């Protein structure tokens, strides 16, 4: 069965610093991978997705992620963060049957000045 591990529960960074949020997945079949962001008191919003093709995926708000099949990872990166990027970030993988998403436990990104 598929599973998702987000390696850091909290990531504190200073404004304009680069950030990487790490996500590993386990699956015996080809998968589709997603990153979502949750701002306070809001629902989840899609940041980016990997379906196939180029392993470097660009999303909204300057985020990008790299799919690495050999390391079963899908890490999220941003070269320079803003205060407004403070939020919780979730990595998700489609389940084997393609019927639902399996979410990681989330990483809280805290950006301070």
Partner 1 sequence: DADVTQTPRNRITKTGKRIMLECSQTKGHDRMYWYRQDPGLGLRLIYYSFDVKDINKGEISDGYSVSRQAQAKFSLSLESAIPNQTALYFCATSDPGTGGNQPQHFGDGTRLSIL
Q: What is the CA radius of gyration of the chain?
A: 13
**Out of 14, 16, 51, 62, which residue is the one contacting partner 1 (CB under 8 A)?**
51
**Out of 49, 59, 61, 66, which residue is the one contacting partner 1 (CB under 8 A)?**
49
**Out of 11, 74, 78, 106, which residue is the one contacting partner 1 (CB under 8 A)?**
106
Q: How many residues bind partner 1 (CB under 8 A)?
A: 24
| 9 forms part of the interface with partner 1 (CB under 8 A) | yes
CB of 17 to partner 1, least distance (A): 25
| 97 forms part of the interface with partner 1 (CB under 8 A) | yes
Q: Which residues of 71-101 are buried (b: 16+ CB within 10 A; e: fewer)?
A: eebbbbebeebeeebbbbbbbbbbbeeeeeb
Nearer to partner 1, 25 or 34 (CB): 34
| 74 forms part of the interface with partner 1 (CB under 8 A) | no
How many angstroms separate the CA atoms of 3 and 55, rounded? 20
Q: Of 100, 97, 111, 113, whose CA–CA distance to 37 is shortest?
A: 111
């Amino acid at each position: 069965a598929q599973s998702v591990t987000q390696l850091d529960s909290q990531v504190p960074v200073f404004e304009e610093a680069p950030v990487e949020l790490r996500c590993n997945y386990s699956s015996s079949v080809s998968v589709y991978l997603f990153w979502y962001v949750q701002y306070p008191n809001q629902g989840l919003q899609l940041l980016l997705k990997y379906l196939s093709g180029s392993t470097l995926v660009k999303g909204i708000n300057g985020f990008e992620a790299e799919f690495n099949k050999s390391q079963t990872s899908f890490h999220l990166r941003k070269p320079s963060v803003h205060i407004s990027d403070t939020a919780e970030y979730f990595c998700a993988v489609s389940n084997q049957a393609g019927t639902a998403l399996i979410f990681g436990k989330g990483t809280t990104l805290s950006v301070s000045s």
